[in-house]
Structure 1
């Protein structure tokens, strides 16, 4: 016997027809009242760490840059005197040029090797073991990497120096020669960061559709042509990020230089971070050291925004 539901007869064994407009619209559930408090509770340690270890030291350093502050005396406000001193400091400008030279070598060689390594991993091998081995140098401490390379490049007992001696009959004094010191430091930096950069570029390669390369092969393009005209343009956002990270990290190099050359010989490898360290912790002139640190900070911001603007980092050729 038929049942009556909402004035509509219902035949047994058949679903009742739903009237148009009578269905209920699903309303997304609003967050519970306690979620906001829980979120703030979870991010409180990170916010506290940022304020204590990043924000406060940064603001304090900006204040010290306008003072004459030695550790045994209270800071004394001197205005722009430290900045005038920086403009006339020949050692500062020499250290900046050495740093730029180091950054140029580390960025150009490092990014090219990382790009080639990532393409080889993407096109020729799918082994996760090899991909894991590539990133291992990045996981090593900078101090440990510098010590290992210092031993391997030692003029008397270093294995690389001994091999070069047998093959060529001579070997350069890598960290003891003013001409070889900065390139040697750049080589160590490239070796340490190449795996991480290669993994970032490899992740970018995964986003390129295979149909793009198939279309290139159908048009008769070679591997080199597809690399130049397809891979590199489509990787522009990733490459810009890698370049920026490498530039910032190279400008901040300290541990490798401190362990291997200590800024020598004859200030040939005296990068800006070494000079800041010497002024701050060697001569205890924290006011002037803070001024140079702030100058480096402003320089890095300018370089980063310029790179992003010129390279159009927020655009992509993938449609």
Structure 2
């Protein structure tokens, strides 16, 4: 009788912990879904549905002022022969290469300096300040500062005996100047993303490397870069996708001029939709851009093995 009671009690005790986690997981799942619901609703309303709508409109000759009709892939066939589209893509790729190249290198160096030399919250705030200013305000500020006639930068160049430079008005300088402006604005934000990854690297690895006689450059190449790979992959995906979507700086400063030298793909879509009222074709260009960005992001994540970490 006693043995039976002990066995029943033991069985009950052994089975009790398994029931609690099941109830807890269910409750936590519903709580998580509750927190995700507003974001999912916003994504469906402002991203997923407009994307589906844009995909449908890309197969029509939609216009506000006339009845639209289904045209199939005619807009995409037109796109293949559109020299302005291909020029806009080349201009955008040039901008992305300059912006990402300088932004990533400088942000990585700044993040390492923040990690190795200081942990001051004030300095981090100062680094992030340009990102907190609206992009339109930043564009206008640099537009005035780099003006060929009254800009302070050209006044400094004249003071040291150099000729003034039409930074935004030159076919040669327009895209590099826009890339510089956006690099300046986003540098602190990108640096803090990388800094967050640096904080996750155990200090003991650097201490062990110092004991073995490794210098700063060796530790950076053998420890920092390999362990920072997943974070760098995420940062590159975010910055490259964002760079392909550059619009406001161009709209405020050059408006795609001179000629088509700064007509990036997003400004071309805006021009098609809201100035030429060619909505169907603008949607087709948007769909092509979406596919290109999806492929770029997928290839980046796979090549950089963003889901793997050498810390595990």
Provide the TM-score with structure 1 as the length reference.
0.88
The CA distance in 2 between the partners of 1:81 and 1:230, in whole Å, is: 53
Provide the TM-score with structure 2 as the length reference.
0.90
Tell me the residue number matched to 1:50.
43
For residues 42 and 231 of structure 1, do their structure 2 counterparts lie closer, same or farther at Cα, with a shift above 3 Å needed?
closer
Tell me the residue number matched to 1:219.
212
The two structures, once aligned, show a CA RMSD in angstroms of 2.3
Conserved? CA contact 1:208–1:234, under 8 Å? yes
User: Which structure shows the higher helix fraction?
Assistant: 2
The CA distance in 2 between the partners of 1:40 and 1:315, in whole Å, is: 27
For residues 194 and 287 of structure 1, do their structure 2 counterparts lie closer, same or farther at Cα, with a shift above 3 Å needed?
same
Deviation at 1:49, TM superposition (A): 2.7
The yes-or-no answer on 1:291 pairing with 2:258 is no
For residues 128 and 95 of structure 1, do their structure 2 counterparts lie closer, same or farther at Cα, with a shift above 3 Å needed?
same
Deviation at 1:222, TM superposition (A): 1.4
Of 157, 174, 179, the residue aligned with 2:150 is 157
The yes-or-no answer on 1:190 pairing with 2:180 is no
The CA distance in 1 between the partners of 2:135 and 2:74, in whole Å, is: 36
Tell me the residue number matched to 1:132.
125
Kindly provide the CA deviation profile for residues 255-310 of structure 1, in whole angstroms up to 9, marking residues without a partner as x. 00000100011110000011111110011000000000000000001111111111
Conserved? CA contact 1:95–1:272, under 8 Å? yes
The yes-or-no answer on 1:269 pairing with 2:262 is yes
Q: How many residues align?
A: 303
Q: Gapped runs of 5+ residues in structure 1?
A: 1-5, 8-18
Deviation at 1:160, TM superposition (A): 1.9
Tell me the residue number matched to 1:238.
231
Which of these two proteins has the greater Rg computed from alpha carbons?
1
Tell me the residue number matched to 1:117.
110
Q: Which moved more, 1:160-169 or 1:302-311?
A: 160-169
Deviation at 1:21, TM superposition (A): 8.1
The CA distance in 2 between the partners of 1:201 and 1:218, in whole Å, is: 26
For residues 241 and 31 of structure 1, do their structure 2 counterparts lie closer, same or farther at Cα, with a shift above 3 Å needed?
closer
Deviation at 1:51, TM superposition (A): 2.5
Deviation at 1:96, TM superposition (A): 0.2
Conserved? CA contact 1:153–1:161, under 8 Å? yes
